[in-house]
Structure 1
Amino acid sequence: MGLLFGFFWALALFCTCSFSLSPDGKTLLEMKSALNDSKHFLQNWIETDPTPCNWTGITCYLHDQTVHSINLPYMQLGGIISPTIGKLSRLQRLAFHQNSLHGSIPSEIKNCTGLKALYLRANYLQGSIPPELGSLSNLVILDLSSNSLRGSIPSSIGFLTHLRFLNLSTNFLSGEIPSVGVLRYLKNNSFTGNLDLCGLQVQKLCRASMGFPVVLPHTDSNSGEGVSAVPTKRLSHYLNGVLIGAMSTMGLALIVLLSFLWICLLSRKGKLGKKYLKVDKQLDQDTGAKLVTFHGDLPYSSHEIVKKLELLDDDDVVGSGGFGTVFKMVMDDCSAFAVKRIDKTREGSDQIFERELEILGSIKHINLVNLRGYCRLPSSKLLIYDYLSLGSLDHFLHEHGQEELPLNWNARLRIALGSARGLAYLHHDCCPRIVHRDIKSSNILLDKSLQPHVSDFGLAKLLVDDEANVTTVVAGTFGYLAPEYLHSGRATEKTDVYSFGVLLLELVTGKRPTDPSFVKKGLNVVGWMNTLVGENHLEEIVDKKCMGIDVETVEAVLDIAARCTDANPDNRPSMNRVYQILEEEVMSPCPSEFYDTHSDC
């Protein structure tokens, strides 16, 4: 009997040891305890499992079952990121974006030495950027945008030699951006929306570089005490008193001088501000023309800008958009801007013009075209945008670009992802929300690094609340329009999703939605795609000029396009969901190569 009891006790002990949760699993449960999982997405994270590898959002290495990645975006998670994250030493991807996390970024994350991708954007994270992030030598992607981070950018970030993508935009960061390592070569897109940042990267002069000290000198009140004998101590006190008095006088004089200079600068800045707001009366005494700029983005006087605007002619035309002709305006320092001329006689243009200014003037996003300002002249209304050197995706994809710089598969994926991110921002992060209504390849503009920027959403209707979420004016371009929009003229976010699905098909096929090869068969691009997919003719769908094709990601993109172009708008995903799927299923397999448009993944 005792032998039998011993056998069962040993068996129970064996089972307990065999099925106890792994160390990484215990760490994840500690992290869960610091999170507020209000929607119960993490309810299958339970301690009775031997391994966390089947838990929501968790993937593991096959050979030892340690955690490889944590993918928990869009989960409505609250709480904080637990410092125990540092115990996951083999973690390569951490994705907590689009949640409601608060608190600071734990410095213990430095112990995740294998980390390659860190996504924490669109939360409520506070505090400063931990300098310890510079210890993550394998980091390729760092996205901390759209939080409440403050303080300076640690110079240690610049020494992340593998870093290919950095986004610190839309925070409250301040001070000079370090010009070290990879930080030296980053552009304004990585820092947009941090109004107190300065440096070459954002083309904003820092006060320190103008001769002002960043920190005023100070003294240590405890220095010199308890060191020598009494007589020496008295002499020391006397000398210290003289020295402190002298330094105080000098400091006071310096403060007065700085205050005087600062008042002068503010006064000059105010005068410059007035010059930006109105055209010099000597130029427009009779017409009352007005120039307005947003965020101080145009470092020129009104006289310089208006003079250049008046010189624009047919030789400067670079295209035409939904509202009029687009010109290229080149300033004396060779900076270029795109100027969209609105026809004053166009019906409804006054209302559209004012609404576009109200919307675009307040929006800055890495994947939206930046409106710098506008000018009202007697004969026309002019919008001033950033000039994007490679023009539209339509022109680049279908005309000159294929021979000069072919769009390989990775480049197309990058364009798809960035366009989805910009459109998702309009739908979900703007208040009130914005429906674009004319998503198409000619409204996706490319900069010199092939970063996409969604343009021409001035016709967007503002969605004031959930009860008024439709518009009734038909706009858009044939081939991209959702069927219900054509029939009813009612535009919602889901009509934009349909148009984006068509855009995905355009990137895959290299054909415009109105291409004769399927229009003559009585099909649109969606019907043509569905027919070929049903017949398993994938090779006929993919653009033959596209290099570096990966069959698995092509199928994933086609699946997303099919869901976006579903005939029933209720079955279409939101743009946030589309962006999430693209990021997880398309970008995740090879993030380092994804940002190199000339390499194959």
Structure 2
Amino acid sequence: MKLLWFWVFTAASLLFNTSSFALTQDGKTLLIIKGGWNDTRHVLKNWKASDPNPCNWTGITCHLNDQTVRSINLPYMQLGGIISPEIGKLSRLHRLALHQNSLHGYIPAEITQCKDLRALYLRANYLQGSIPPELGNLLNLVILDLSSNSLRGSIPASIGHLSHLRFLNLSTNFFSGEIPNNGVLGSFKNGSFTGNLDLCGLQVQKLCRSSLGFPVVLPHSGNDASTVPPKRLSHYLNGVLIGAMSTMGLALVVLLAFLWICLLSKKGKIGKKYTKVDKQLDHDTGTKLVTFHGDLPYSSHEIIKKLELLDEEDVVGSGGFGTVYKMVMDDSSIFAVKRIDRSREGSDQIFERELEILGSIKHINLVNLRGYCRLPYSKLLIYDYLALGSLDHFLHEHGQEERPLNWNARLRIALGSARGLAYLHHDCCPRIVHRDIKSSNILLDANMEPHVSDFGLAKLLVDDDAHVTTVVAGTFGYLAPEYLHSGQATEKSDVYSFGVLLLELVTGKRPTDPLFVKRGLNVVGWINTQTRENRLQDIVDKRCKDVDAETVEAVLDVAARCTDANPDNRPSMNRILQLLEEVISPCLSEFYDSHSDC
């Protein structure tokens, strides 16, 4: 009898173990998705049916209550292949991060079956086709980043239905047509759409045309006649024609023809404002104006007149390369103008050609260079105006009194700045070394989003053999040791400067703060001392009330890697961006979703 019970118990145990360790349905789905990828680095080698718990697989996290897949985090993994439609079977997926890979094919419409999706990162792949209109059904979506792909077609109006959407980046694709202005789509500005030359609409301040070629949207035009929609004008003319046909006859036909010719003439003049690179030269005065992207909706006469009127009352700041002015147009649009105080030796033609390269660079976290003007007495660069000014001013001077930088805002600034710098290092051709990363070169817009400024100017405006002190005078606290020694800037010296910027965000102190100097240390040495003594509470800015120790330690760890004394040990900006996204993005996603601090 005992032997019988033993065999019954053994059989039951085997049956129980077999059922308990069977691969979950989400696990089976993940294996199908893996089958569509080309995993050249074998990062997914532990995705296998013999491991019944997919929650332990690389890049996978699960919900604790039922072990269903919560997030897929696989950026920078060099994954090729396609995104399988099976992704739609992961019904409780909150986050899908596949950015900076080599995926191609289409965005599967089935992804919209993931009704709980909060964050979708597909940036910097080779995805083709259009945005599935069904994405408008992902009502919980907070972050949507499809930038730097080969996507085409129009932007679906259904995106406007995503009422929780707080971050949208569709830049650097091949989208075309008018950007819908419904719902949340009306709240996103030019930065979300840059690099799509065939897009038009209010968000990008660019003229749209009807199928007949007439202006449909013309922002910032001071000419009332040119802003009358052709349809209204046509109705008006038809009414006049019908009312007067019995008395005017042939005379009105002649008048109609005359008005038609005038309208076409106006249309032609308006269209000329939107050339992609517009160059105007006055041979008598030597004045030259070059505008990039075709997104300055003003005549050259209007712009030059405003530039000539700038004086000391319009000064808003100064930097290593010149004075910055605030230029207000007649329609109240505002631009920043940097007057160049010095330039490297060489012809104006070479200088302007290199400026055109800088003007072609557009990214949501880079300050947009709108144009260049050469006046008889100065050279002027025209930029977008950022309402909150520099991070340095906001963090250390008056900005904090009116609108303190909480921990969440600092995380967003760190992440956005890393994205902009990584774009310069890895996505521009030729790659751009900034040379002067510092808080005064991080500008903040009205939504506290960061934009890296002055990229490319250090190389453009200073001789290659110039001594380092003439390049970055006044910013030694950010300089890498090897840069100070040799004067040779590299991507790794930019990485060091970015690490110091991270420390500045955490501590709320400038790198040259007297607290460090009087101890014979720089900010890096001071942080190392405080960390060894486990004095985290003395490191974090006392004005920042909502910090949590876990993310502070993670950011400090990234900063430590950036500021390693050996440049060979410092990670690339792409790797730094990956590390920060792993730490920060889930926190921001949850913040946007719950509308509370991390």
Superposed CA deviations along residues 32-83 of structure 1, whole A, max 9, x for unmatched, are 0001111111111011111111111001112221111000000011100000
**Cα offset for 1:490?**
2.3
Superposed CA deviations along residues 456-492 of structure 1, whole A, max 9, x for unmatched, are 1233559xxxxxxx99863332100001111122221
Superposed CA deviations along residues 320-357 of structure 1, whole A, max 9, x for unmatched, are 12211111111111111111111357767969944650
After superposing the two structures, state which structure 1 stretch, 489-498 or 415-424, moved more. 489-498
Instruction: Report if aligned partners of 2:83, 2:107 keep a CA contact under 8 Å in 1.
Output: yes
Supply the distance in 2 between the matched residues of 1:266 and 1:73 (Cα, whole angstroms).
47
Shift in alpha-carbon separation, 1:61–1:375, aligned structure 2, 3 A? same
Shift in alpha-carbon separation, 1:259–1:61, aligned structure 2, 3 A? farther
1:54 maps to 56
In structure 2, the residue corresponding to 1:36 is in which secondary structure? Answer: strand
Supply the distance in 1 between the matched residues of 2:62 and 2:343 (Cα, whole angstroms).
63
Supply the distance in 2 between the matched residues of 1:471 and 1:153 (Cα, whole angstroms).
48
Instruction: Report if aligned partners of 1:443, 1:455 keep a CA contact under 8 Å in 2.
Output: yes
2:487 maps to 489
Shift in alpha-carbon separation, 1:263–1:74, aligned structure 2, 3 A? farther
**Cα offset for 1:205?**
3.2
Which of 70, 76, 83 is matched with 1:81 structurally?
A: 83
Give 2:524's aligned amino acid. Answer: V
Residues 117-132 of structure 1: matches in 2 within 5 Å?
A: 117-132=119-134
Supply the distance in 2 between the matched residues of 1:78 and 1:185 (Cα, whole angstroms).
34
Residues 27-42 of structure 1: matches in 2 within 5 Å?
A: 27-42=29-44
1:68 maps to 70
Instruction: Report if aligned partners of 1:272, 1:301 keep a CA contact under 8 Å in 2.
Output: no
Residues 347-496 of structure 1: matches in 2 within 5 Å?
A: 353-354=351-352, 356-461=354-459, 474=468, 475-476=471-472, 477-496=475-494
- How many residues of Structure 1 are paired with residues of Structure 2 in the alignment? 546
Instruction: Report if aligned partners of 2:275, 2:293 keep a CA contact under 8 Å in 1.
Output: no
In structure 1, the residue corresponding to 2:451 is in which secondary structure? Answer: strand
In structure 2, the residue corresponding to 1:389 is in which secondary structure? Answer: coil
In structure 2, the residue corresponding to 1:64 is in which secondary structure? Answer: coil
User: Do residues 311 (structure 1) and 302 (structure 2) align?
Assistant: no
Shift in alpha-carbon separation, 1:595–1:260, aligned structure 2, 3 A? farther
Shift in alpha-carbon separation, 1:139–1:594, aligned structure 2, 3 A? closer
- Give the CA RMSD over aligned residues: 2.9
Q: Compute the TM-score of the two structures, normalised by the length of structure 2.
A: 0.85
2:225 maps to none
In structure 2, the residue corresponding to 1:583 is in which secondary structure? Answer: helix
Give 1:16's aligned amino acid. Answer: T
Residues 178-217 of structure 1: matches in 2 within 5 Å?
A: 178-208=180-210, 209=216
2:576 maps to 578
Instruction: Report if aligned partners of 2:166, 2:592 keep a CA contact under 8 Å in 1.
Output: no
1:21 maps to 23
After superposing the two structures, state which structure 1 stretch, 203-212 or 109-118, moved more. 203-212
In structure 2, the residue corresponding to 1:148 is in which secondary structure? Answer: coil
Shift in alpha-carbon separation, 1:407–1:352, aligned structure 2, 3 A? farther
Supply the distance in 2 between the matched residues of 1:525 and 1:26 (Cα, whole angstroms).
50
**Cα offset for 1:19?**
2.1
Supply the distance in 2 between the matched residues of 1:519 and 1:21 (Cα, whole angstroms).
59
2:178 maps to 176
After superposing the two structures, state which structure 1 stretch, 432-441 or 298-307, moved more. 298-307
**Cα offset for 1:20?**
2.0
In structure 2, the residue corresponding to 1:373 is in which secondary structure? Answer: strand
Unaligned runs of 5+ in 2: 211-215, 218-228, 232-259
In structure 2, the residue corresponding to 1:32 is in which secondary structure? Answer: helix
After superposing the two structures, state which structure 1 stretch, 192-201 or 46-55, moved more. 192-201
Shift in alpha-carbon separation, 1:408–1:60, aligned structure 2, 3 A? same
**Cα offset for 1:450?**
0.8
Supply the distance in 1 between the matched residues of 2:265 and 2:376 (Cα, whole angstroms).
37
Runs of 4+ in 1 over 6 A off after TM superposition: 1-10, 258-264
Shift in alpha-carbon separation, 1:159–1:259, aligned structure 2, 3 A? farther
Instruction: Report if aligned partners of 2:205, 2:295 keep a CA contact under 8 Å in 1.
Output: no
Superposed CA deviations along residues 147-175 of structure 1, whole A, max 9, x for unmatched, are 11111111211111111111111111122
Shift in alpha-carbon separation, 1:352–1:327, aligned structure 2, 3 A? farther
Q: Compute the TM-score of the two structures, normalised by the length of structure 1.
A: 0.85
**Cα offset for 1:305?**
1.1
User: Do residues 146 (structure 1) and 142 (structure 2) align?
Assistant: no
**Cα offset for 1:446?**
0.8
Shift in alpha-carbon separation, 1:356–1:542, aligned structure 2, 3 A? farther
Instruction: Report if aligned partners of 1:360, 1:370 keep a CA contact under 8 Å in 2.
Output: no
Superposed CA deviations along residues 486-510 of structure 1, whole A, max 9, x for unmatched, are 1122221110010001001111111
Supply the distance in 1 between the matched residues of 2:59 and 2:99 (Cα, whole angstroms).
13
Unaligned runs of 5+ in 1: 214-257, 463-469
**Cα offset for 1:3?**
11
1:559 maps to 557
2:102 maps to 100
Give 1:521's aligned amino acid. Answer: R
Instruction: Report if aligned partners of 1:140, 1:592 keep a CA contact under 8 Å in 2.
Output: no
In structure 1, the residue corresponding to 2:88 is in which secondary structure? Answer: helix
Shift in alpha-carbon separation, 1:334–1:20, aligned structure 2, 3 A? same
Shift in alpha-carbon separation, 1:263–1:16, aligned structure 2, 3 A? farther
1:164 maps to 166
In structure 2, the residue corresponding to 1:419 is in which secondary structure? Answer: helix
Instruction: Report if aligned partners of 2:135, 2:159 keep a CA contact under 8 Å in 1.
Output: yes
1:321 maps to 319
Shift in alpha-carbon separation, 1:307–1:421, aligned structure 2, 3 A? same
Shift in alpha-carbon separation, 1:64–1:275, aligned structure 2, 3 A? closer
2:300 maps to 302
After superposing the two structures, state which structure 1 stretch, 579-588 or 23-32, moved more. 579-588
Give 2:434's aligned amino acid. Answer: H
After superposing the two structures, state which structure 1 stretch, 77-86 or 193-202, moved more. 193-202
Shift in alpha-carbon separation, 1:391–1:264, aligned structure 2, 3 A? closer
Which of 480, 497, 500 is matched with 2:498 structurally?
A: 500
1:110 maps to 112
Shift in alpha-carbon separation, 1:102–1:266, aligned structure 2, 3 A? farther
Report sequence identity in percent.
Answer: 75
Superposed CA deviations along residues 347-406 of structure 1, whole A, max 9, x for unmatched, are 679699446503311100111111100011221111111111111111111101111111
Supply the distance in 2 between the matched residues of 1:345 and 1:144 (Cα, whole angstroms).
38
2:585 maps to 587
Supply the distance in 2 between the matched residues of 1:345 and 1:46 (Cα, whole angstroms).
60
Supply the distance in 2 between the matched residues of 1:314 and 1:567 (Cα, whole angstroms).
43
Supply the distance in 2 between the matched residues of 1:46 and 1:275 (Cα, whole angstroms).
54
Shift in alpha-carbon separation, 1:67–1:346, aligned structure 2, 3 A? closer
Supply the distance in 2 between the matched residues of 1:76 and 1:551 (Cα, whole angstroms).
32
In structure 1, the residue corresponding to 2:54 is in which secondary structure? Answer: coil
Superposed CA deviations along residues 196-217 of structure 1, whole A, max 9, x for unmatched, are 222222222322436579xxxx
User: Do residues 292 (structure 1) and 294 (structure 2) align?
Assistant: no
After superposing the two structures, state which structure 1 stretch, 337-346 or 383-392, moved more. 337-346
In structure 2, the residue corresponding to 1:138 is in which secondary structure? Answer: coil
Give 1:504's aligned amino acid. Answer: L
